[in-house]
Amino acid sequence: MSSSDMIRIENLVKRYQDLVALDHLTLSIQEGEIFGLLGPNGSGKTTAINCMLALLKYDKGSITVFGRNMQPDSYDIKKQIGVVMQNVAVFEQMSVQENIDYFCGLYIRDKAKRQSLVEEAIAFTGLTDYRKMRPKKLSGGLLRRLNIACGIVHKPRLIIMDEPTVAVDPQSRNKILEGIVELNRQGSTIIYTSHYMDEVEQICSRIAIIDHGRVLATGTTEELKQMIKTGETITIEAIELDDTLLAAVRGLPHVFDLTYEDRILKIRLSTARHNLVRILNFLKEHDISFGRVFSELPTLNDVFLEITGKELRD
């Protein structure tokens, strides 16, 4: 951990009676990062965020934000944080503009400044045409954008986004992700939780994989991928193999796992040169016919699978 950490969480423990939600969680997030918190449902992501925001009391450990201890009455710190909740948190009775203005008012007193910030947030989230509408009339994607606008309108130094793209169509999701990257480019540090690995891989500069309230691995996407054994996955379709041949494939250099189902062979190999050539030569030597062949580099899903032993969507 360095002294330039924007957030430092050390040995955080949070229990709900017998359930340990956070088990000595330790994390540090630096200024300028888009930090991804990746974990399945119930892994402790939201609990960790609630503790960071001092919305929840924890049993053990410490949290410092901007170098200061975070407490429920740390309003100077809270002033510099924007929160985008997992659920849309707006007033049904107010229009888009009124909602954004209201939540901006919780941070900014000056009316003129607030007006200009609200206009910026409306433009940034593409809600200009919908400013007079009530949330009930907005589509799911627009609602999410309104939710984001309410969280970022006061231009916070740190933005915490708890699964902001849940139940959003792909087009709106892309728009939201582009917006997040833009916010980061404008100087905000972002903590982003999700169980969509492609999103995290796409926008996060550093990622922590959490499960059972513990950090299992931290690093950039590349660093995480290097932590696992899988260097490459080769998939071969429409192939007929008997047990002898399967055993032979399993015995090839760098192969450490394979599955064969519905005439599809998936071979997981450790990082090495010419893996694909070696496999294709083997098939040629044994005169085995096959359909499409493709090779994939490891994804975060592979990382997660190997580290936690389960799919992220479990």
Partner 1 sequence: MTVFKGFLLITKRNIHMMFLYIAIFLTIAIAAQKMTGGNQSGFKQESLNIAVIDRDGGKLARGLADYLAQYHTLVDLPDDPSVIQDRMFYREVYYIVTIPEDFEDRCLYGDELLPVTKVPGSNSGFYVDQQINTFLNDVRVMAASGFSLADAVAEVIDNSKDTAQVTMLDKNGFGGEQPLHAVMFQFIPYILISILCYSLGAIMIAFHNPDVKRRMMCSAIPVRRQNHQLVLGYILVGIIVWIICTLMPFLLYGKDFVNDPNMPYYLLNSFLMTLVSLSLAFLVSTLISRDELISAVVNVISLGMSFLCGVFVDLDILGKGVRTFAQFLPVYWYELANNLLAGNQSLSRAQTVSLLTDYGMQLLFAAAILGVALVISRNRRTA
Interface ranges with partner 1 (CB under 8 A): 53, 55, 73, 75-76, 78-79, 81, 83, 85, 87-94, 98, 102-103, 105-107, 150-151
- Report the alpha-carbon distance of residue 250 to residue 256 in Å, rounded: 7
Query: To the nearest whole angstrom, how small is the minimum distance from the Cβ of residue 46 to partner 1?
Result: 10
53 vs 122, beta carbon nearer partner 1: 53
46 vs 308, beta carbon nearer partner 1: 46
103 vs 124, beta carbon nearer partner 1: 103
Query: To the nearest whole angstrom, how small is the minimum distance from the Cβ of residue 313 to partner 1?
Result: 24
Query: To the nearest whole angstrom, how small is the minimum distance from the Cβ of residue 85 to partner 1?
Result: 5
Q: Are 36 and 204 in contact (CB under 8 A)?
A: yes
134 vs 214, beta carbon nearer partner 1: 134
- Report the alpha-carbon distance of residue 168 to residue 90 in Å, rounded: 17
Query: To the nearest whole angstrom, how small is the minimum distance from the Cβ of residue 15 to partner 1?
Result: 16
Say which residue the tokens 């513990």 belong to: 214
- Report the alpha-carbon distance of residue 147 to residue 85 in Å, rounded: 7
Query: To the nearest whole angstrom, how small is the minimum distance from the Cβ of residue 105 to partner 1?
Result: 3
35 vs 103, beta carbon nearer partner 1: 103
- What phi and psi, each to the nearest 5 degrees, are found at residue 212? 50, 35
> Distance between alpha carbon 157 and the CA centroid of its chain, in Å?
19
SS3 sequence, 255-314?
A: EEEEEEECCEEEEEEECCCCHHHHHHHHHHHCCCCCCCEEEECCCHHHHHHHHHCCCCCC
Tokens of 58: 């924890």
102 vs 282, beta carbon nearer partner 1: 102
87 vs 289, beta carbon nearer partner 1: 87
| End-to-end CA separation in angstroms for the chain | 32
Query: To the nearest whole angstrom, how small is the minimum distance from the Cβ of residue 102 to partner 1?
Result: 5
Query: To the nearest whole angstrom, how small is the minimum distance from the Cβ of residue 82 to partner 1?
Result: 9
Q: Are 138 and 146 in contact (CB under 8 A)?
A: yes
